[in-house]
Structure 1
Amino acid sequence: MMTGFRLNLSPLKEPLGFVKLVEWLTAIFAFSSCGGFTGTNVVTLFCGDGRNETLSANFHYPFRLSQEPLVPGNATLCNRSVATTHMVGDAASAAEFFVGVAVICFLHCMLALLVYLGYMHVYKDSDLGPICDFLVTAVLVFLWLVCASAWAKGLQNVKYATDTEGIGATLALCTGGNVTCAVTEFANMRTLNISVVFGFLNVFVWAGNAWFVYKETRWHSQKFVSQTGPGRQQVPAPI
């Protein structure tokens, strides 16, 4: 059996290799749009005496909001003393899980493309290659579904905690007296919304890839033979 590297680009013209290239790109977009985010919401405090004061709600990946100070140190706001106050919430587990799965899939795609383009003759020489490829792909489909759902919920929590309602519930100054709090400038969360979209897009792309990988296994070929075998009729020999 020849096991040496043989460069062959033809798998990229077939669904098996082309979809893997698409998965590589979608994984890049998924972790880059989430992992590099940083933003600031500006909170305006409308004091009862007509004065306005502002606070900055800074947040970034991995979104451990409970460690981000909304009021750093004891401060005087609207003529009232306010103790150190942090934002509420922690979406780090969901965000890090999402980015971790995306990075793993990114690395897996590069390894798979190396096998497809250089060792396809070894890949198809035995049943072990396609079966392992299918099992790994099926696991990654499940991980994408779980992490995309978890991150979608985590992003919803981040938006609430940094919005007017969440800030108002966090800052005691805003819940009583004649002080009104509102977020007047919002950070652009377009990239975070895009990351959720790419998360669920990866679910569909990897599920489609699982079908093409399954077709390379002996399970599919045996099923095909079992379905077509009984229908065959022996042609009588000519007299």
Structure 2
Amino acid sequence: MMTGFRLNLSPLKEPLGFIKLVEWLTAIFAFGSCGGFSGTNIISLFCGDGANETLNANFHYPFRLSQVPLVEGNTSICNRSITTTYLVGDSASSAEFFVGIGVVCFLYCMVALLVYLGYMHVYKDSDFGPIFDFVITAVLVFLWLVCSSAWAKGLQHVKDATDTSGIRATLEICEGRNVTCEVTEFANMRTLNISVVFGYLNMLVWAGNAWFVYKETRWHSQKLSSQPGPGRQQVPAPI
């Protein structure tokens, strides 16, 4: 059996290769829209004496909000001394998990496409290749479901910690009667919402791809060969 590289672009015209290319693109959109995020919320403090103060809440991937200073050093705000204050929350684990799965899928798709386009004759002539491909695909379907759900929950925590109610709960001065705190400008989190959408989209695409990978395995061929053909009559067993 020849095992050398043979360039053949025909698998891209078939569901097995075409969907793998789609998975490669959706993985890029998923981890790129999350891992590259950086935003700022502007908080306005309306003091009782008519003066106004502003604070900036700068947060970015991987969203370790507890390490993001809201007030640095001993700062005077509304004639009151405020010590160093940080945002509340940490969504780093879910964000990094989500991006990590995206990167793994991106790399796996590149390797799979290399095999499909250059070593398809080896892939189809062996049992190991299709079975390994199917198992990895099934595992990644589950991981996309888990990481997308975890990141959706983590993103909600980021939104809660950086909105007006979250800032008021973080800044002690906002609990005073003479000071009103309000987030007047919000960071655009559209790309983060898109990342969650692409996470679940990846799960659906990989689930669909699992069927076409399964058809390449010997499990599917054995199932077909065990089924009686059309017009074939079963002979009764002798008594």
TM > 0.5 = yes
After superposition, where does 1:165-180 map in structure 2 within 5 Å?
Answer: 165-180=165-180
After superposition, where does 1:227-238 map in structure 2 within 5 Å?
Answer: 227-229=227-229, 232-233=232-233
Counterpart CA distance in 1 for 2:56 and 2:228 is 68
How far apart are 1:227 and its partner, in Å?
2.7
Q: Specify the code of the residue in structure 2 equivalent to 1:162.
A: T
1:95 is matched with which residue? 95
Asked if residue 182 in structure 1 is aligned to residue 182 in structure 2, the reply is: yes
1:132 is matched with which residue? 132
* TM, length-normalised to structure 2: 0.96
1:17 is matched with which residue? 17
Q: Specify the code of the residue in structure 2 equivalent to 1:196.
A: V
How far apart are 1:226 and its partner, in Å?
2.2
Asked if residue 157 in structure 1 is aligned to residue 151 in structure 2, the reply is: no
Counterpart CA distance in 2 for 1:115 and 1:3 is 11
Counterpart CA distance in 1 for 2:207 and 2:106 is 16
Q: Specify the code of the residue in structure 2 equivalent to 1:121.
A: H
Counterpart CA distance in 1 for 2:176 and 2:160 is 20
Counterpart CA distance in 2 for 1:231 and 1:32 is 55
The count of aligned residue pairs is: 234
After superposition, where does 1:20-59 map in structure 2 within 5 Å?
Answer: 20-59=20-59
Structure 1: 5+ residue stretches without partners: 235-239
CA 231–173 in structure 1, closer or farther in 2 if over 3 Å, else same: farther
Report the secondary structure of 2:227's partner residue: helix
How far apart are 1:231 and its partner, in Å?
6.3
Counterpart CA distance in 2 for 1:209 and 1:49 is 64
How far apart are 1:191 and its partner, in Å?
0.6
How far apart are 1:220 and its partner, in Å?
1.1
CA 150–231 in structure 1, closer or farther in 2 if over 3 Å, else same: farther
Percent identity reads 81
2:7 is matched with which residue? 7
Q: Specify the code of the residue in structure 1 equivalent to 2:57.
A: A
* TM, length-normalised to structure 1: 0.96
How far apart are 1:230 and its partner, in Å?
8.7
Q: Specify the code of the residue in structure 2 equivalent to 1:27.
A: A
How far apart are 1:233 and its partner, in Å?
3.1
How far apart are 1:221 and its partner, in Å?
1.3
